[in-house]
Amino acid sequence: MNFDPLLAKNDLLEAYKLLQPHVHRTPVLSSHLIDELAGCKLYFKCENFQRMGAFKMRGAVNAIMNLSPGQQARGVVTHSSGNFAQALSLAAKSLGVKAYIAMPSNAPEAKKAAVRTYGGIITLCDSTPEARESTAAKICLETGATFIHPSNDYQVILGQGTAALELIQDHPNLDALFVPVGGGGLIAGSAIAAKYFSPVCIVIGAEPKGADDAFRSLKSGKIELNQDTDTIADGLRTNLGDVNFPIIRELVKEIVLVSDSEIVEAMKLIFERMKIVIEPSAATALAGLLRHKENFKGKRVGIVLSGGNVDLSKLPFY
């Protein structure tokens, strides 16, 4: 199943109904002080409060629930060293399904432990993309489990889009929505939600300068890759894919770039003023809005805070 403009509205509603019992409806928070600074009214969708600490739980649940009972019985596979490995493990556990995770052997022990806590079955491999993919493919062959891509999968995209859908349900009059861009699943899903449930709301992606593949892709009209990445926003170092890029190209107004220091500044504002913990990737959306705030004076702007899984011993505040 793939994106079809005639079906997408219904597809998203289906995803929303399916996953609702398995994810938190996260709160939407505001801050007078940040509003004053931004010159507009901001609505923060707090996916840092989502199960396992990030929006990725939504896509993982929706992808698994859309498998046939036979497929579910054989389990699911992904390759990831980050939030999606944890999300797929926890989603699978919640739904009584096995999750196999191909993880680079040099991934931090804390991340391996988190995956195991959620019941994920880890196969260690080299850290190259090729090694991860071939390891995942081998697991698929051996177990009959279904591969689920962290961001380039239509059911994952729809799942991620339910965060923006909930935000729009709570605040139907948004003028714009800022979303961090990594692998492209969250922004593609958010753009579907805005297009069909808040048609006047423009969707803007925010991306670190040090991983600007989506910015370049939207300019050139084809998927551009990051050769190397250099950003504190570790969740946003991945490339777009052939499933989400057409959606992004069609429905996203613009991608804006922000520096790491702007990301840290936005992150600090959110910690200090809102008293909530977010990861650098999540701060990217607010950084993008602040950089272009003159364009949003007096508007109502949604900000997707994508997650809160940050290493507390490495916070960038000094």
Residues catalogued as catalytic: 56, 306
**Distance between CA atoms of 174 and 263, rounded to whole angstroms?**
23
Residue whose token pair is 């509205």 = 9
200 burial via Cβ count (<10 Å: 0-12, 13-18, 19+): exposed
Nearer to its own copies, 207 or 279 (CB): 279
Q: Least Å distance between CB 269 and its own copies?
A: 11
Cβ proximity to its own copies: between 137 and 315 the closer is 315
CB nearer its own copies, residue 68 or residue 313: 313
Instruction: Check residue 307 and report its DSSP letter.
Output: B
Rounded CA gap, 243 and 241, in Å? 6
Q: Based on CB atoms, which residue is closest to its own copies, 124 or 276?
A: 276
Contacts of 263 (CB under 8 A, 6+ apart): 208, 231, 232, 233, 280, 283, 284, 287
Residue 317 CA, distance from chain mean position: 24
Copy the structure tokens of residue 272: 């200090």
Please give the span between the terminal C-alpha atoms of the chain, in angstroms, as a whole number. Answer: 47
- Closest separation in Å from C-beta 307 to its own copies: 9
Measured from the CB of residue 236, what is the shortest distance to its own copies in angstroms?
19
Binding site for its own copies (CB under 8 A): 27, 48-49, 53, 268, 271-272, 275-278, 308, 312-313, 315, 317-318
Closest separation in Å from C-beta 101 to its own copies = 20
Q: What b-and-e string marks burial along 52-66, b requiring 16 or more CB atoms within 10 Å of the CB?
A: bbbbbbbbbbbbbbb
Give the nearer residue to its own copies in terms of CB position, either 142 or 272: 272
Q: Report long-range pairs for 34-37 (Cβ below 8 Å, ≥24 apart).
A: 34/269, 34/270, 34/273, 34/274, 34/286, 37/269, 37/290
Q: How far is the CB of 37 from its own copies (least distance, A)?
A: 13
